[in-house]
């Protein structure tokens, strides 16, 4: 086990930011911390890195207690922060070399690592650029390169795709998968459930400093009553039709948004044949019909009663 | 100390336009303005004599030439009236004196020199007429030494010893050097903000690296001191070589004092940032204001302020780094002995060490309640 957080409590005066948090992260996994803004994700990271004092609990990394002076532990950690943290007066190359040099003393080895990091994030054509001259996406890539150039065993990425265009986001997510394939354990925090679903093998969902669900994606989705969703693109459905669908067996809820009808069903039940028959019997015109498994957003919605992006 | 951090800190200071402006170009600009303002005061000529000609075509009254030359106001030449007219039209002389129908000064235009010559001549005519009249009526006065008491020279100039005016002006430049040394406090402030994880994201990133915080801090401080010291050397070279201000010949002593000044300044900024809870931009602004106040108290804007503080509240003078630098430089320039210089140097070192200890204690193994 690489990370073990036991009973972690962090208070800001009367506000409880982390409430008896327990997290375990195994070597080689991509672990997700999912939660809306203000749920405590970054606070967990800061406590983990011994940047923040906490009121109660234990944190061990690589089997040792984490302290500000635990340099042997720090040597194996890479951090990619939510905000870009680089020197504006240094070039892309100099920034990566600077941060890599805080971990790697050997000049030749460092030169190799910096080169690899530049190639990894695709900044080869920009090594002499200064950060203010880079676009948002390129800056994020530089931010990542500064955090991973020293080949850490544990990489913490705190919302690295905030305010990034879709193309750069895909590059970043692909890069994270590659890092994991190369052997790094990843902690990935986000409030984008799609990213967590795409990347993480295990995750915890945080809300108001508490773990409200934890496990693999499948385990977490299995925790809720919602099963498959049937989505129908329709043009002439009425309120009467919708009421009658609601009365069909195993249907939890029916919702119409513009021309898209979403029928939520109980976990483990399948109603596709019944719905298809209902549409045919009632001459309801339709376009596409397809089914969708519940998402983490559905999990969050069912547990907390609010959307993840709220 | 980490050479890696030192190298990049120096590089980033050299490339940072804000640092370059405040730590190098601003003092150079100020020095240039000082030079423009004090140009005439620094000149030891002070007053240029009035060029006047006495025409040889006429007989001049007895004693006129002697009185003129004793006044030290004129450079006298002897020309014919024709030559004098020509020289006057070519503006080679201010005017000429002829004695065709009484003493007469011929000038072409009005001005300070012309006024001096005219007032002098009028004064001579009036005083000599009075003397003739008095002696005609009382010839015995010659025996009593009456003539020795007559002063033909009106006071046109006032003597100010050159050394005294030099004192004041050089103090301005010393205060400027002190201010430049202390501007390193702004960089010191920045260093402190990128070493405390609760201040900037950059600081958080540096804090999670396996580099001892104090080692990183001291490397950055050393780079700042070196950068600022180089700026001071450039400024001193500019002032002494381009602006021709004499700093004396104790260059090594001046250098040591400025180096210690940079050390104390950098650590003052770092300490200030450690002890306050404001954002780093606010701290940098406050620190630069503090430096300006210290410089003001050491005589940068009003030179008399230095003496007022030294006389009325000497304690302030002894804990004001700007004053210690200024006074140390002043002592080097004006005293043969080094006692006062070493006193200032020692106090400056002590202040720097105190700032360093406070900063180190605050930074040591710091964990934050909030980020």
Residues A114 and A97: their CA atoms lie apart, in Å, by 6
Residue A34 lies in a domain: yes
Residue A306 lies in a domain: no
- Calculate how close chain B gets to A74, using CA atoms only, in Å: 5
Same domain as A124, residue A12: yes
Q: Maximum CA pair distance of chain B?
A: 106
Q: How many domains does chain A have?
A: 2
Nearest CB among B205, B211, B371 relative to A52 is that of B371
Q: Model-level pTM greater than 0.80? A: no
Residues B95 and B84: their CA atoms lie apart, in Å, by 8
Same domain as A212, residue A82: yes
* Subunit contact A90:B210, Cβ cutoff 8 A: no
Q: Strand, coil or helix: what is A289?
A: strand
- The per-residue pLDDT for range B225-253, each reduced to its tens digit, is 999 999 999 999 999 899 888 877 788 99
* Subunit contact B210:A103, Cβ cutoff 8 A: yes
Q: Which of A89, A94, A111, A142 to mutate to test the interface with B (most CBs of B within 10 A)?
A: A89
Residues A103 and A66: their CA atoms lie apart, in Å, by 17
Closest chain A residue to B7, measured at CA? A98
| Run means of pLDDT, 10 residues per run, chain A, 310 residues | 93 90 94 88 92 92 90 93 92 96 94 95 94 91 94 93 82 90 93 86 91 88 80 88 88 88 81 84 88 81 70
The token pair that represents A225 in the structure block: 């009553």
- The per-residue pLDDT for range A130-170, each reduced to its tens digit, is 999 998 889 999 999 999 999 999 999 998 888 778 888 88
Same domain as A245, residue A192: no
Same domain as A156, residue A29: yes
Residues B124 and B116: their CA atoms lie apart, in Å, by 12
* Domain locations along chain B: 3-42+162-363, 50-149
- The per-residue pLDDT for range B301-340, each reduced to its tens digit, is 777 788 888 888 889 989 999 999 988 988 887 787 888 8
Helix%, strand%, coil% for chain B, nearest 5: 70, 5, 25
The token pair that represents B328 in the structure block: 């140390």
Residues A269 and A271: their CA atoms lie apart, in Å, by 7
Nearest CB among B8, B209, B371 relative to A46 is that of B371
For A72, the domain range is 3-220
- CATH code, domain carrying A264: 3.30.70.980
Residue A119 lies in a domain: yes
Task: Specify the DSSP class assigned to residue B75.
Answer: E
* Model pLDDT, residue B369: 61
Q: Measured between beta carbons, which residues in chain A are less than 8 angstroms from residue B365?
A: 68-69
- Calculate how close chain A gets to B286, using CA atoms only, in Å: 23
Same domain as A188, residue A94: yes
Same domain as A181, residue A102: yes
Residues A230 and A253: their CA atoms lie apart, in Å, by 11
- Calculate how close chain B gets to A49, using CA atoms only, in Å: 7
Give the other-Cβ count within 10 Å of A169's Cβ.
Answer: 19
Q: Strand, coil or helix: what is B368?
A: strand
Domain B50-149 annotated CATH 3.40.190: yes
* Subunit contact A79:B5, Cβ cutoff 8 A: no
Residue whose structure tokens are 């039709």: A241
Same domain as A60, residue A35: yes
The share of chain B scoring above pLDDT 70, in percent, equals 88
Q: Is the dihedral of CA B169, B173, B175, B176 positive or negative?
A: positive
Per-residue pLDDT averaged across B19-26, rounded? 88
């Amino acid at each position: 086990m690489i990370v073990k957080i036991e009973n972690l409590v962090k208070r800001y005066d009367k506000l409880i930011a982390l409430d008896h948090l327990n997290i375990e992260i195994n070597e080689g996994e991509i672990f997700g911390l999912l939660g809306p803004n203000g749920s405590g994700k970054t606070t967990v990271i800061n406590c983990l890195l011994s940047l923040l004092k906490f009121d109660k609990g234990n944190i061990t990394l690589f089997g040792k207690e984490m302290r500000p002076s635990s340099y042997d532990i720090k040597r194996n950690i890479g951090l990619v922060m939510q905000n870009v943290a680089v020197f504006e007066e240094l070039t892309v190359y100099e920034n990566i070399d600077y941060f890599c040099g805080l971990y790697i003393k050997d000049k030749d080895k460092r030169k190799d690592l910096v080169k690899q990091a530049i190639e990894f994030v695709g900044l080869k054509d920009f090594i002499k650029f200064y950060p203010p001259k880079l676009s948002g996406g390129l800056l994020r890539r530089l931010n990542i390169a500064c955090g991973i150039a020293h080949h850490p065993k544990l990489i913490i990425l705190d919302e690295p795709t905030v305010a990034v265009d879709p193309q750069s986001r895909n590059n970043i997510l692909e890069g994270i998968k590659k890092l994991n394939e190369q052997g790094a354990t990843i902690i990935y925090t986000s409030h984008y459930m799609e990213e967590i679903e795409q990347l993480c093998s295990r995750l915890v969902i945080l809300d108001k400093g508490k773990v409200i669900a934890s496990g693999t994606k499948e385990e977490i989705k299995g925790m809720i009553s919602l099963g498959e969703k049937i989505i129908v693109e329709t043009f002439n459905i009425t309120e009467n039709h919708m009421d009658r669908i609601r009365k069909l067996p195993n249907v939890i809820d029916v919702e119409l948004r513009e021309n898209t009808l979403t029928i939520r069903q109980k976990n483990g039940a399948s109603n596709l044949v019944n719905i298809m028959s209902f549409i045919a019997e009632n001459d309801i015109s339709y376009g596409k019909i397809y089914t969708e498994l519940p998402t983490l957003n559905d999990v969050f919605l069912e547990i907390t009663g609010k959307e993840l992006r709220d | 100390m980490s050479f890696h951090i030192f190298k990049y800190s120096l590089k980033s200071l050299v490339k940072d336009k804000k640092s370059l402006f405040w730590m190098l170009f601003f003092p150079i600009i100020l020095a240039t303005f000082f030079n423009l303002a004090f140009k005439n005061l620094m000149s030891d000529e002070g007053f240029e004599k009035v060029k006047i000609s006495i025409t040889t075509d006429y007989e001049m009254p007895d004693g006129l030439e002697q009185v003129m030359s004793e006044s030290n106001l004129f450079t006298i030449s002897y020309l014919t009236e024709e030559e004098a007219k020509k020289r006057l039209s070519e503006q080679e002389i201010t005017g000429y004196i002829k004695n065709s129908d009484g003493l007469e000064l011929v000038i072409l235009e009005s001005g300070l020199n012309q006024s001096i010559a005219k007032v002098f001549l009028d004064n001579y005519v009036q005083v000599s007429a009075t003397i003739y009249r008095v002696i005609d009526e009382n010839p015995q006065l010659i025996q009593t030494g009456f003539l020795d008491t007559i002063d033909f020279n009106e006071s046109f100039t006032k003597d100010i010893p050159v050394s005294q005016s030099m004192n004041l002006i050089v103090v301005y430049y010393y205060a400027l050097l002190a201010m430049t040394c202390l501007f390193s406090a702004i960089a010191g402030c920045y260093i402190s903000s990128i070493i405390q994880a609760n201040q900037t994201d950059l600081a958080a990133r540096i804090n999670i690296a396996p580099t001892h915080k104090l080692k990183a801090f001291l490397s950055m401080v050393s780079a700042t001191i070196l950068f600022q010291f180089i700026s001071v050397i450039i400024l001193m070279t500019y002032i002494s070589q381009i602006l021709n201000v004499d700093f004396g010949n104790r260059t090594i002593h001046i250098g040591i004092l400025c180096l210690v000044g940079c050390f104390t300044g950098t650590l003052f900024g770092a300490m200030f940032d450690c002890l306050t809870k404001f954002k780093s931009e606010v701290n940098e602004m406050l620190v630069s204001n503090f430096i300006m106040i210290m410089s003001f108290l050491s005589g940068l804007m009003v030179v008399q302020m230095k003496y007022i503080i030294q006389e009325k509240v000497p304690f302030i003078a002894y804990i004001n780094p700007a004053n210690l630098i200024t006074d140390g430089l002043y002592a080097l320039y004006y005293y043969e002995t080094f006692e006062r210089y070493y006193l200032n140097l020692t106090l400056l070192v002590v202040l720097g060490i105190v700032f360093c200890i406070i900063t180190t204690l605050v930074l040591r193994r710091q964990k934050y309640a909030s980020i």
